[in-house]
Amino acid sequence: MVLKKWAYILIGCLLIFSTGEVKGQSFYVELRNIYDSYNSNDETALPYVKRYIQKAKQEKNYTELKNAYEDYSNYSSNKAVKIKYADSAIFAAKKAGNNDLLSSAYLYKGSLYYFYDKNYQSALAEYLKAYQYSKNSNDDYLKYKIVYQIGLVKSYLGYYDEALVLFNECIAYFEPKTKEKNYPTQVYNDSKGYLNSVHQAIVCYRHLKEYKKADSLITVGFQLAGRSKDFLSEKDYFVKCKGISDYYHKNYQSAIQNLNQALPVLKKNDDAYWISVSEFYIGKSYLGLGKENMAIRQFEKVDSIFKKRAFIFPELQDNYDCLIHYYQQKNNSQKELAYTKDLLKVDAILKKDFPYLSSKLHTGYDGQILTEAKNKSENQNKWGLLVIIILAVIVLLLFFGIWKYYQNKKLVELKYNELEKKLQRQNKTEESTSYENISVQGKGLISADIFADLQQKLKDFENSLGFKESGLTIDRLANSFNTNKLYLSQYINDTKGSNFSKYLSALRINYITQLMHNDSKYLRLNIQGLADECGISSRTNFSNLFQEINGIRPTDFIRQRKKELGEGSTS
């Protein structure tokens, strides 16, 4: 490989100092062949690229000048220089007067913002310009590169279903291209497009918890990437995916091994995003193995990367939750506060990015897709218009659903906190109602002796958990008390402030809620199991009563309590 590289350098020197023996387009082809196999950020390619730029400028060949500027950006290791030459490529594309070139140049600049800084706002702005200039293009390869990049932004926003649709479109386009007989460069580009699309589809399936589909695509990725040495870097990205999959399958040692194997390539590519994700899952795997101290070191590595690069990935909030929980346990309030502030920074970035990117995607891409579809449909038939309206409603419902989701999340947290306070109050002994304080109607029906007898028997009934008996009625309870149901009903009305049915439901729900709060094993029961435990026969009736009495659904209570106890799972 070293000899091959030096051979290319020698040929390059001959070209650079040649007096014009190589003419026309062949000059660009021959010169580019010298450095085409170099890795990105390898500045030994730059002397040849400078010669490329000089030649294109002399000939006012703006198409080649655009390519040369992008090459210089690619092989420079300086991020500011990368952006500068990307801007020059856009300028050259404008001079060439070719919309495909201009679209490609904007797409390239956007990919720099995405890959090196995860600056989604700047990246999306360039992608949308690329999309505008590609609308009338016949270059399908260019169009699907744009679709892929839009998919990346949707994935970042958490629209995994929508992103998956776009990545599957890319897979459907690129996969047959990898088997066609074409120029080696084009086959390489199509294969890389296919591998990248498969990789991102795996990411979406993982976040959607469709682990079997993700694992299946990991196998596909390994098969293609393993065919050529050109895709060793891509292969390590699938090794990284395998490591994350191992974590979710609780193969923690294998997860650590695979993620550590992938890290050198991720670091070589300066891919801070996937470095952070990998370090995070190594930490989670150490937690799974019970090696808490090693896990915390991993989470602190992720924190260090965030402080340097200030970008977001879905697991970052969980990373800080783990650190905060750890230092809470260690009574280290200083570090707990520091990581809490970092978590608030993450939340602030999300709040800044999410509305902006969602709006831009809607107006700049989704909205235009809908508009174009609408224009086509109007030329076809009136039913097409109905389809567009339905699609528009779906988009609006999607945004409303996202807003509603966050509102509901806040409401659940509020209701949970209120319920916890209620549970604390219930632990205090309640004062019994005296005979003197009951209603006139009650005194007319129940004597003081009967009142005292019912008071003791009902107290014994509650203490012995008699209310857990399924199918219990007031008639049956009155019989067991050797009294009549009118006395019992009146007593419950006066002392409990409700009828027998509501009184019994409150006893059962309060009992099971206390169990769920105090003993985590009850959090692992399903709804029917919880209903059976407190004497309610129907799971639907249990859920309705639980929400009516506690103000929160049982599933939401379980989720919040698990989160509070640190038993929640990372998505």
Tokens of 186: 């084009």
The pLDDT score that the predictor gives to residue 21 is: 38
Query: What percentage of the chain carries pLDDT values higher than 90?
Result: 44
Work out the number of other CB atoms within 10 angstroms of the CB of residue 466.
16
The Cα angle at residue 13 between residues 58 and 228, in degrees rounded to 5: 100
CA distance 130 to 105: 8
Q: Which of 489-503, 534-548, 555-569 has the lowest mean pLDDT?
A: 555-569
CA distance 186 to 179: 11
The pLDDT score that the predictor gives to residue 444 is: 66
The pLDDT score that the predictor gives to residue 14 is: 38
Q: With bands split at pLDDT 50, 70 and 90, how would you rate the model's confidence at 29?
A: confident
400 against 40, higher pLDDT: 40
For 313-366, the pLDDT digits (tens) are: 778 888 999 999 999 999 999 998 898 888 888 878 777 766 666 666 655 554
Sign of torsion, CA 162 219 196 122?
positive
Collapse the DSSP code of 332 into the 3-class scheme (helix H, G, I; strand E, B; otherwise coil) and give the result. coil
Evaluate if pTM is beyond 0.75.
no
For 246-272, the pLDDT digits (tens) are: 999 999 999 999 999 999 999 998 888
Residue 27: name the closest of 56, 69, 63, 60 by CA. Answer: 56
Residue 487: name the closest of 497, 477, 468 by CA. Answer: 477
Residue 178: name the closest of 233, 135, 223 by CA. Answer: 223
242 against 361, higher pLDDT: 242
The pLDDT score that the predictor gives to residue 9 is: 41
Secondary structure in 3-state letters for 384-452: HHHHHHHHHHHHHHHHHHHHHHHHHHHHHHHHHHHHHHHHHHHCCCCCCCCHHHCCHHHHHHCCHHHHH
Tokens of 146: 């744009």
Mean pLDDT (the chain) is 84
Collapse the DSSP code of 467 into the 3-class scheme (helix H, G, I; strand E, B; otherwise coil) and give the result. helix
Tokens 């690069």 correspond to what residue?
A: 309
User: Is the pLDDT reported for residue 406 higher than 90?
Assistant: no
Sign of torsion, CA 230 233 235 237?
negative
For 111-134, the pLDDT digits (tens) are: 998 888 778 788 888 888 888 888
Collapse the DSSP code of 10 into the 3-class scheme (helix H, G, I; strand E, B; otherwise coil) and give the result. helix
Tokens 């200030």 correspond to what residue?
A: 310
Tallying the residues shown for the chain, one arrives at 571
The Cα angle at residue 62 between residues 61 and 63, in degrees rounded to 5: 95
Mean pLDDT across the stretch 440-444? 67
Sign of torsion, CA 85 87 88 93?
positive
Tokens 């505008």 correspond to what residue?
A: 132
User: Is the pLDDT reported for residue 403 higher than 90?
Assistant: no
The pLDDT score that the predictor gives to residue 413 is: 79
Tokens 């309705």 correspond to what residue?
A: 544
The pLDDT score that the predictor gives to residue 359 is: 62
Tokens 């891509």 correspond to what residue?
A: 234
User: Is the pLDDT reported for residue 550 higher than 80?
Assistant: yes
The pLDDT score that the predictor gives to residue 408 is: 73
For 262-308, the pLDDT digits (tens) are: 999 999 988 888 999 999 999 999 999 999 999 999 999 999 998 88
Secondary structure in 3-state letters for 186-247: HHHHHHHHHHHHHHHHHHHHHHCCCHHHHHHHHHHHHHHHCCCHHHHHHHHHHHHHHHHHHH
CA distance 501 to 309: 60
The pLDDT score that the predictor gives to residue 373 is: 46
User: Is the pLDDT reported for residue 88 higher than 60?
Assistant: yes
Tokens of 158: 């958490």
Q: With bands split at pLDDT 50, 70 and 90, how would you rate the model's confidence at 8?
A: very low
For 146-187, the pLDDT digits (tens) are: 899 889 888 888 889 989 999 999 999 999 998 888 778 888
Chain centre to alpha carbon of residue 318: 11
Query: What percentage of the chain carries pLDDT values higher than 70?
Result: 86
The Cα angle at residue 339 between residues 336 and 342, in degrees rounded to 5: 155
CA distance 430 to 34: 87
Taking the alpha carbons at both ends of the chain, their separation in whole angstroms is 42
Q: With bands split at pLDDT 50, 70 and 90, how would you rate the model's confidence at 12?
A: very low
User: Is the pLDDT reported for residue 200 higher than 90?
Assistant: yes
User: Is the pLDDT reported for residue 525 higher than 50?
Assistant: yes
CA distance 202 to 515: 40
- Asked if 362 and 395 count as a contact pair (C-beta separation under 8 A), the reply is yes
The pLDDT score that the predictor gives to residue 569 is: 45
The pLDDT score that the predictor gives to residue 363 is: 58
Q: With bands split at pLDDT 50, 70 and 90, how would you rate the model's confidence at 430?
A: low
Tokens of 365: 């891409």
